[in-house]
Amino acid sequence: MKAYELYKLMEKDFELNSCTDSWEMKFSEYISDDFKNKSMGIVLDNTSIINKVYTAVFPTYNILDKILDSGEKDILLFTHHPKIWDVTKVPAFIDMSEEYLERLKEHQISMYTLHTPLDKNGPA
């Protein structure tokens, strides 16, 4: 599927225009302008075609390594949070390293994050 078409469908289905969120990310040259403006949606726009989607709550290095080690390309990682969560660190939310951001770009792996939209949808 064309990535752009998938992103537009998700934006509509999750009603991103009715949500707000706030995430600051390091290494802004890797982060999509869309995410910089809305703090949700496409974080890493590294492929124009999506052949497979992986899901996770956080983009941990363990998960990223499994995807990278698969050798697959044109992947979308769909997460609830855009940052790694490590309760042993202060602050607990940690940006991915530049090394990993570069590897994801090289392997055509994009990332899409919905925090507030996932929290607000579903049974109340």
pLDDT, tens only, 69-111: 999 999 999 999 999 999 999 999 999 999 999 999 999 999 9
Could you report the per-residue pLDDT of 1-12, keeping only the tens digit for each? 999 999 999 999
Kindly report whether the global pTM for this prediction surpasses the value 0.95.
no
Q: Taking the domains of the chain in order of start, what are their residue ranges? A: 3-119
Q: Is the peptide bond before 82 cis (omega within 30 degrees of 0)?
A: no
**Bridge partners of residue 77, in order along the sequence:** 54, 111
**Residues whose CB is less than 8 angstroms from the CB of residue 39 and which lie 6 or more positions away in sequence, other chains included:** 20, 21, 22, 23, 82, 115
Q: Locate tokens 């309760």: which residue?
A: 87
**Domain 3-119 top-level CATH class:** alpha beta
